[in-house]
Structure 1
Amino acid sequence: MGEYLLEPLAYGFMQRGLLASVLVAVVCGALGSFVVLKGLAFIGDALAHASFGGVALAFVLGLNVYAGAFVFALATALGIGALSQHGKVRSDTAIGVLFSGTFALGIAVISGVESYTTDLFGYLFGDVLSITARDLAAISLAGAAVLALLGLFYRQLLFVAFDPAVAAASGVPARALEYLLLALLGMTIVAALQAVGIVLVVALLVTPSATAHLFCRRFHHMILASMVLGSLSALLGIYLSYYLNVASGASIILVATALFFAALGGRALLRRAGGWRSGVRRGYHSA
């Protein structure tokens, strides 16, 4: 067993991949709890796809792809908020229009330059084992910024997430905090691009938090459980990808999905057991 655990760690790319995956999972776990609570999964998916336009454009122009992805994700987030608040467009319509347009721009860019297609597909589907020390530094910086801002505005964000109308009436800048949450969501998506890819990044945001939501009653417990579950998914997924020779991003998400269904099944069993016991008690007392 020790040999199986230590063998992958002999390679630098595995060390960087494991560290990057855990960092991304921790950040996604923290922010993903807000995503699940506020029902922002569709917006997260939109920002992830929108960021691909920035990735493709920055790649072709020789600019930093993470900066390009963040600019497009942030612009899309602000655009969704502006259209749904000031325009005559529903939020789901604004999401559909903006994310499909920016994603189409990315496809148009890579279709015109064939030599870039293979490299850019890594951002679509993830390739955590190709992460460099520079990528790891960028992920760490983005992750630290997201966690710091979440910690700084935690109480206000939680208030707005549970009851935005009451929060606004109490003097809390609800609209500004909602934009902050969208910006943090964009930063988290950019940090996770190389680890799990644009197509799967929303799953890492939602699935561990949805699993934690099944058995956590307090929100801060849900955040901590999401971080642990995401990290466990990342570690097991990376090891499985190494030994089974499958895509690392897909492996991470499949482990997270398996944990979700295991928790769902366990919860159902506990409920049945609880119902059976209460039925026995009721029968006993009535007798």
Structure 2
Amino acid sequence: MSIPEFIADLTNPDLAFLPKALLIAVMSSVVCGVVGCYVVLRGMAFIGDAVAHAVFPGLAIAFVLQGSLVAGGAVAGVVTAVLVAVFAQNRRVKEDSVIGVFYVASFALGVVIISRAPGYAGSLQQFLFGSITGIPDEDLYTAAVTGVLLLAVVLLLHQQFVTVSLDRELARAVGLRVFWLDIALYVLVTVAIVISVQTIGNILVLALLVTPAAAARLLTDRLGAMMLLAPAIGGSGAVVGLYLSWSYDLPVGGTIVLVLAAVFLLAWTFAPRHGLVARRWRGAAGDVVAARAR
């Protein structure tokens, strides 16, 4: 399918679900790109994966009750994040163990709940792998408003998040409330994931959170530039992925993830300072200089 044909389909009234899917894919990619920068800086990809599991029972309950998936997933994720933060205060059991217990239990609860709903198999597939059809207008509006609020919170707490991400002991020493900042970041990760689940699916959503930020990390040493590059990479990947998915009848979530993975591989290979080619070139140049010095 050519690009003009894809644009024509986007404006086709009979395919009203397609522009909605594009909008929510881009919005979720931008939000995940911004929040994902903190996830990558703190090395907390496991927490992102765990949160993706935690939102599942809320999505399942909202589906069964025909309510807002965004609201249901957000409530479930926030409740689970708070429980993890509270139970992790007991240092006898490490935080990663507490995360493993609660988030896997949450996912299992979601599977049990949705198994009681009619059309269980199709619903489960939609939640796990995403779908570009059947996104209600209400969820689109909720995702847009929630995304704007999330970005506003990020702007407000950015300096504190950076300080905690780089040096937790320094953050405590200067009087920052590290525990509550952790809770705030968990909530932001939860909301970003909930916005994304409908398009990309529960299993693949971690890629949307981590891959654009990881690619941006390879391309720049400046945090400000990274936080601009990551949502740009995520949003562009969503557009290209949806175009390829629609053109070749491929799963939309998997296609978007593969596009983002390709961008990461290109950055890993050709990034100006940290890419494989640049590092090899510097190594070869250093060997030449050393040889001349001898």
Specify the TM-score bucket, using the shorter chain as the normaliser: over 0.9
* Residue 128 of structure 1: how far off its partner (Å): 3.0
Q: How far apart in 2 are the matches of 1:178 and 1:192?
A: 21
Q: Secondary structure at the match of 1:85?
A: coil
Q: How far apart in 1 are the matches of 2:55 and 2:122?
A: 17
Q: How far apart in 1 are the matches of 2:41 and 2:121?
A: 37
CA deviations on 1:38-60 (whole Å, 9 max, x unpaired) are: 12211111111111111112222
1:7–1:61 Cα change, 3 Å: closer
Q: How far apart in 1 are the matches of 2:3 and 2:119?
A: 42
Aligned partner (choices 279, 284, 288) of residue 276 of structure 1: 284
Alignment of 1:7-22 (within 5 A): 7-11=8-12, 12-22=16-26
Aligned partner (choices 52, 75, 82) of residue 71 of structure 1: 75
Indicate if the aligned counterparts of 1:52 and 1:124 stay in contact, CA closer than 8 A.
no
Q: Tell me how many residue pairs correspond in the alignment.
A: 286
The residue aligned with 1:176 is 180
* Residue 22 of structure 1: how far off its partner (Å): 1.1
Tell me which amino acid in the other structure corresponds to 2:284.
W
Tell me which amino acid in the other structure corresponds to 1:276.
A
Unaligned runs of 5+ in 1: none
Q: How far apart in 2 are the matches of 1:76 and 1:110?
A: 18
Moved over 4 A (4+): none
Aligned partner (choices 41, 59, 63) of residue 55 of structure 1: 59
Indicate if the aligned counterparts of 2:129 and 2:204 stay in contact, CA closer than 8 A.
yes
Q: How far apart in 2 are the matches of 1:8 and 1:90?
A: 51
Aligned partner (choices 239, 242, 248) of residue 235 of structure 1: 239
TM-score, structure 1 normalization: 0.94
CA deviations on 1:180-219 (whole Å, 9 max, x unpaired) are: 1011111111111112111111110001111111121011
The answer as to 2:42 corresponding to 1:38 is yes
Aligned partner (choices 112, 115, 134) of residue 116 of structure 2: 112
CA deviations on 1:145-204 (whole Å, 9 max, x unpaired) are: 110000011111111111111111111122111111011111111111112111111110
> Identity over aligned residues, as a percent?
36
Tell me which amino acid in the other structure corresponds to 1:246.
L
Deviates more, 1:206-215 or 1:130-139: 130-139
Tell me which amino acid in the other structure corresponds to 1:26.
V
Alignment of 1:246-261 (within 5 A): 246-261=250-265
Indicate if the aligned counterparts of 2:29 and 2:238 stay in contact, CA closer than 8 A.
yes
Deviates more, 1:250-259 or 1:213-222: 213-222
TM-score, structure 2 normalization: 0.91
Q: How far apart in 2 are the matches of 1:97 and 1:240?
A: 38
Q: How far apart in 2 are the matches of 1:120 and 1:66?
A: 16
Indicate if the aligned counterparts of 1:17 and 1:130 stay in contact, CA closer than 8 A.
no
